[in-house]
Structure 1
């Protein structure tokens, strides 16, 4: 537990020091004011299979009030879904990553993602990665970026 708290305390500092470029999602969902993936400052970000990956989205404004927030990740290559499910223990964003739940419409919040072991099936490819938060069918936040999996 202490390890998680220490990492959560450090991630915002790293995120402000090393912002990662990102694209807005075509669905028009909210985006963070600052986003970071590890120490990536230029696309594509390098993602190493089997190593920890941290990301942070700071300053996201919720479009809805909700106490249920699901995190998701979609990985595509040339338009094909590579079936990368987010680990079950990280899906509940209120329990793992959001700094203040329940969310209130218009409220600003931060989201921190930490995966201790990026168990990715493929390497040596560059993919499009979409990371988002939703409440059922309602998109709360979403960003896209390119990642080189090594």
Structure 2
């Protein structure tokens, strides 16, 4: 595929990202086609960000500056940054899916920690069979999906309603 066909497909899908230089780019491009400014995808909400700073344009979650590629030997996150990446968009009262058959669940509690024992953080969930369990599985933006986010009054709304707003 060429840049033009990639861009047209991304615009039809509503997934193109704009660079400060004025160029539009397909979501899977790691750098701007025109100026080569690098981009990064938020681990919490999946939004492509083109600004070299540590806050997502869409959800406001902090991403360590070093994660943007400035540090050749890697980076060190704060505990809060690590937890934000692990929890992702999950909120109490929301419904989510692991991407496997019959894997939908409702979040009952998020304990961000830190706790003295392992796991240092955990999420309490209830599956569709009513089974309640605790786990510390991190959000996988490539596999997990939001079914319904809670409203401010604690009532869930589905992803289609959120997209319409």
TM-score in terms of structure 2 length: 0.24
By relative contact order (CA 8 Å, sep 6+), the higher-ranking structure is: 1
- The structure with more radius of gyration: 2
Higher strand proportion:
1
TM-score in terms of structure 1 length: 0.25
